[in-house]
Amino acid sequence: MTEARDEAWRALTLHPDPTLEELFAADAERVDKLSSRLELGESGILFDWSKTHLTAELLGEFESFAEACDFPEMRRKLFAGEVVNPTEGRAAEHSALRGVGKESSVEEAAALLERMKLLVEAIHEGALGEVKHLIHVGIGGSALGPALAVDALSRDLSLVDVHVVSNIDGVALEAAFAACDPATTWIAVASKTFTTIETMTNAQSVLTWLDQNGVADPSGRVIALTADPEKAVEWGVDETRILPFAESVGGRYSLWSSIGFPIALAIGWEDFQALLDGAAAMDVHFRDTDGRDNVALRAAFADQYYTRIRGCQTRAVFCYDERLGLLPDYLQQLEMESNGKSVHVDGTPVEGTTAPITWGGVGTDAQHAVFQLLHQGTNLVPVDFIASIAPGDVLDPAHHRILLTNCFAQGAALMAGGNMSADGKDPARAFPGDRPSATILCDDLDAATLGALIAFHEHRTFANAVMMDINPFDQFGVELGKKMAKDIEGGEADFDASTEALLKAAGLA
């Protein structure tokens, strides 16, 4: 940390911590000051951070701190396509796929997406024969985004039945086989590197299944989604069926690229474009808005406050929308793989905590399972609630009304606290209150909204990384375990006594 940073940080830690109740009592305009809307054409999203402990003073200090961390310059570099991932010498150009970034990268990305569009439309028009099912094999960033978007956006109408399979456990693939007719099934092999063992093994097993079920040319059914087309050719994919994307697009930031092929196949190109456009609206907001008015930066201020000043070890996300059931999983990779680091950009150790553990679920289910700890446990857990004003169902409106009232009631209860016993004294029925939450309220959960929501979290993650002076775009922490598994496979195992005994017990050594 530079001196200016240290000083700005010290100023932040010296603030008193008024309670939420005190903050609301002191400022009648608190909600207006800490809420803002992102407009997305016909719809929009409200970001309400008023139930957090951010104050005007804290926001001012955080703005100075972000300046001292070179946030404006780092943000400029991000959108200019300059190197922001120094350990791998790469830019991070996911926003170029949405049309926001360095001009040449935006043009290249548009050309690649045009190629994908042609293939998607050809399939929809029947030019490749009957394609009813797609088995999309990929893992991590090559699966979580597609799975989330397909699940969120194609419930009413799916143009092609998509099954995202990630786990190497054959049980996952068998479930997809059981749901697909081999005669009308295609396979997307999604891997940035085209070397990931889970994906390549699963892909091979899909080919075997097609072959065993009478498909004459299983390889002809493969579409490769990758940043390494040569590897795909070596693996046997026809060059015309390879949809490449740029090396500068990180795995967990790649759903906007050809990795999003199954999304476009399921929801159609127009909606896929809307997903990109929604993300672009958030890009432009994040790029052009300074300080507390920038919704992703403001959220990162709260994240820094709770994690690094109040010592919160986790942050939770509860989606009061069944369609967003996979969002917590997606955010886990985005936030924990990006910011779960212990060293600064220059390699020196970070003092204190970096990324909190991201976890969550769907409301109201989670209320009946884990909210006990949020209300009365000893951990302080900042919570994000995400909901949509428009319902995703056409049942009795009571469903959606109860869903939303519960969402808002939980935020209010966490903040207010109280005692639910008759005499107001029973400690077992006491709620300490003053527990923070933020609410992201969408007008509707359409494709543009989902795009903006995901881009909001990408930029929030980036802003957090800049304020911790860490590189959010590498992920070396996943490598050691992978290498050891390979060593076992190659018979080179020389492990600790416990691991040796486990290998023996399982008949693997």
Nearer to ligand F6P, 191 or 367 (CB): 191
CB 395 within 8 A of CB 450: no
| Comparison of 58 and 84: residue with beta carbon closer to ligand F6P | 84
Site string for ligand F6P, 486-505 (x = CB under 6 A): --------------------
- Contact (CB, 8 A) for 333 and 378: no
Q: Nearer to ligand F6P by C-beta: 191 or 410? A: 191
User: Exactly one of 337, 341, 457, 458 is catalytic; which is it?
Assistant: 337
Residue list 130-149, contact with ligand F6P (CB under 6 A): 139-142
Using CB under 6 A as the criterion, what x/- string covers residues 242-281 for binding ligand F6P?
Answer: ---------xx-----------------------------
Cβ-based burial of 480 (10 A; exposed 0-12, middle 13-18, buried ≥19): exposed
> Which of 259, 262, 272, 275 is CA-nearest to residue 142?
259
Is 130 noted as a catalytic residue in this protein? no
Q: What is the b/e burial string over 54-73, where b = at least 16 CB atoms within 10 angstroms of the residue's CB? A: bbeebbebbbbbbbbbbbee
Tokens 């991070």 belong to residue: 92
By C-beta, is 87 or 212 nearer to ligand F6P? Answer: 87
337 in active site: yes
CB of 482 to ligand F6P, least distance (A): 7
- For ligand F6P, give the closer residue by CB, 34 or 148: 148
List binders of ligand F6P among 420-479 (CB under 6 A). Answer: 475, 478
Q: What is the C-alpha end-to-end distance of the chain, expressed in Å?
A: 48
Q: Compute and round to an integer the Cα radius of gyration of the chain.
A: 24
**193-232 mask for ligand F6P (x: CB under 6 A)?**
x--x--x---------------------------------
Compute the least distance from the CB of residue 200 to ligand F6P, in Å.
Answer: 9
Indicate the burial class of 331 (C-beta count within 10 angstroms; 0-12, 13-18, 19 or more). Answer: buried
Residues 6+ apart with CB under 8 A from 441: 45, 46, 48, 386, 387, 388, 389
- Strand 242-244 and strand 314-320: the pairing is unpaired
Catalytic member of 368, 425, 479, 483? 368
Within positions 468 to 487, which residues make up the interface with ligand F6P, using CB under 6 A? 475, 478
Nearest to 272 by CA among 120, 155, 379: 120
Minimal distance in Å, beta carbon 333 to ligand F6P? 7
Q: Which two tokens stand for residue 355?
A: 């990324």
Q: Could you say which residues in the range 336-365 bind ligand F6P, by CB under 6 A?
A: 337
191 binding ligand F6P? (CB under 6 A):
yes
Size of the residue set binding ligand F6P (CB under 6 A): 14
Residue carrying the six token digits 């609301």: 24
Cα dihedral angle (346, 349, 355, 356), rounded to 10 degrees? -170
- Binding segment for ligand F6P (CB under 6 A), chosen from 87-95, 187-195, 341-349, 430-438, is 187-195
Identity of the residue, 228 or 271, whose beta carbon is nearer to ligand F6P in the bound complex:
228
Q: Are strands 430-431 and 43-48 parallel, antiparallel or unpaired?
A: unpaired
Find the catalytic residue in 132, 399, 482, 504.
482
The torsion angles phi and psi of 391, rounded to 5 degrees, stand at -75, 155
Strand locations in 210-280 (E): 222-226, 242-244
> Smallest distance, Å, CB 5 to ligand F6P?
29
CB of 235 to ligand F6P, least distance (A): 12
Our finding on whether 302 is near ligand F6P (CB under 6 A) is no
Considering the complex, what minimum distance in angstroms separates the CB of residue 197 from ligand F6P? 9
Q: Which of 53, 192, 285, 459 binds ligand F6P (CB under 6 A)?
A: 192
Stretch that binds ligand F6P, among 104-112, 129-137, 154-162, 190-198 (CB under 6 A): 190-198
Active site residues: 337, 368, 482
Would you tell me which residues interact with ligand F6P (CB under 6 A)? 139-142, 191-193, 196, 199, 251-252, 337, 475, 478
